[in-house]
Amino acid sequence: MRITSRKKEILTYFEPDHLEWVTSEVGPPPFDVSGVAYLIHGAESHKKRHHLESTRRTLEAMVKDGLLEKITSYERRQDATQSAVGKGVWCNCSRYGLPGSTLVLRDNGGNRAAIEGESVRVA
């Protein structure tokens, strides 16, 4: 496992010192690929597919190395062919967070409330 400067930069987005700024830019963790690409490359990341793919590969390598945890959530996302006022499309979205810090949330129409009860990690 090599800790590259890009991996170090991504890990700083989870630090408490930077978390308030990062949350105001792309929302709270766990982050999706487009959010991390935006933090690294700026707004041009949405116009250049290679920025998204490079970021996705780095995040996947970090998951493989055990630095991050990947979860899949079913979310409404903006379709590339829609204008900003479109309703979006529902799709599976990969999100990345620090190991053990991602939560299982109930989808109740946009309200982000945690499911009451206990959860157990299955190996």
- In tens, the pLDDT along 96-122 reads 998 877 655 555 555 555 555 666 666
Q: How confident is the model at residue 84 (pLDDT cuts 50, 70, 90)?
A: low
What mean pLDDT is predicted for residues 53-78? Answer: 90
Question: In sequence order, what are the beta bridge partners of 77?
Answer: 89
Q: Give the chain's mean pLDDT.
A: 81
Q: Which amino acid, 41?
A: H
Report the predicted TM-score, pTM, of the whole model to 2 decimal places: 0.73
Please calculate the CA angle 119-121-123 and round it to the nearest 5 degrees.
155
With a cut of 90, say whether residue 59 has pLDDT above it. yes
Residues in the chain: 123
For the residues 6-15, what does the mean pLDDT come to? 92
Domains along the sequence of the chain with CATH:
5-97 (1.10.10)
From the centroid of its chain, how far is CA 35? 6
pLDDT at 60: 94
The strand pairing partners of 89, in sequence order, are: 77
Please state, in angstroms and rounded to a whole number, the distance separating the CA atoms of residues 113 and 52.
29
Nearest one of 12, 31, 13 to 22, comparing CA atoms: 13
> What share of the chain has pLDDT > 90, as a percent?
29
pLDDT of amino acid 3: 87
| Phi, psi for residue 77 in degrees, rounded to 5 | -125, 155
